[in-house]
């Protein structure tokens, strides 16, 4: 039995890493998929075909969730093509790391726009549809850095901590309409981005984690599936740490 059969899901920033893993996992479980990308058109079209090969309806949309007008237009197009929105996974995010003394105002603002304001934009854009349906699940990607902080990432930490506060508030606002809102806090997840760190750095990370390994996009995708599906029907306002015990 597919857990999301007959459901429509949105995943922002789905062309690589965690977003791609989440999109594939939801599609494997029967969800029709609308997903966004900003620049990687070739990867987006390849993912679109891969999702369709799983027997679901899937469509890639070029859209920047950090711009309210684009988020609203995207959601309007999704409703026209898919007729409903049952799951929203706010995954799009960036980093612009630097020590505070060297961080530019532009880099601080941009990280807040992409990582936090995009979640406000997308949640606001889908809210009316979910309220009419009296059902929906919203899953926001935060980070262990949003819980414990990290030197050189004050902008990223602030944005991800903001996601947790936003998630809790939306859960309180929308719970009476059977709309759930939860967050996932990934730890050290090994993707093409982390490969650039070098084997020694990666080994040090692994050794510092109680489970002695980095996570995979599928580890985060499995947690997302749980929160997106009715398996978590009585779970809202929570932050699920997928970090191998880093925050234990």
Residues labelled catalytic: 156
Burial of 67 (0-12, 13-18, 19+ CB in 10 A): middle
Rounded to whole angstroms, how far apart are CA atoms 94 and 200? 24
Helices 17-28 and 217-228: crossing angle in degrees, nearest 10, is 50
Rounded to whole angstroms, how far apart are CA atoms 57 and 151? 42
Rounded to whole angstroms, how far apart are CA atoms 232 and 137? 10
């Amino acid at each position: 039995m597919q857990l999301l059969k007959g459901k429509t899901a949105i995943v922002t920033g789905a062309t690589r890493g965690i977003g791609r893993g989440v999109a594939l996992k939801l599609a494997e479980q029967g969800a029709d998929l609308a997903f966004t990308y900003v620049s990687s058109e070739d990867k987006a079209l390849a993912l679109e075909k891969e999702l369709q090969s799983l027997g679901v309806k899937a469509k890639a949309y070029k859209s920047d969730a950090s711009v309210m007008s684009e988020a609203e237009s995207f959601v309007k197009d999704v409703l026209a093509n898919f007729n409903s929105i049952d799951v929203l996974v706010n995954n799009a995010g960036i980093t612009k790391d630097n020590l505070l003394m060297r961080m530019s105002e532009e880099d601080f603002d941009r990280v807040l726009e992409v990582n936090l304001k995009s979640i406000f934009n997308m949640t606001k854009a889908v809210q009316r549809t979910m309220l009419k349906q009296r059902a929906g699940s919203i899953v926001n990607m935060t980070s262990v850095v949003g819980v414990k902080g990290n030197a050189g990432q004050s902008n990223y930490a602030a944005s991800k901590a903001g996601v947790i506060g936003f998630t809790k508030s939306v859960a309180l606002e929308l719970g009476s309409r059977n709309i759930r809102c939860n967050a996932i806090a990934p730890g050290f997840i090994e993707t093409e981005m982390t490969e650039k760190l070098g084997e020694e750095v990666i080994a040090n990370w692994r050794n510092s984690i109680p489970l002695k390994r980095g996570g995979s996009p599928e580890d985060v995708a499995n947690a997302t599936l749980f929160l997106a599906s009715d398996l978590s029907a009585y779970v809202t306002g929570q932050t699920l740490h997928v970090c191998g015990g880093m925050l234990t």
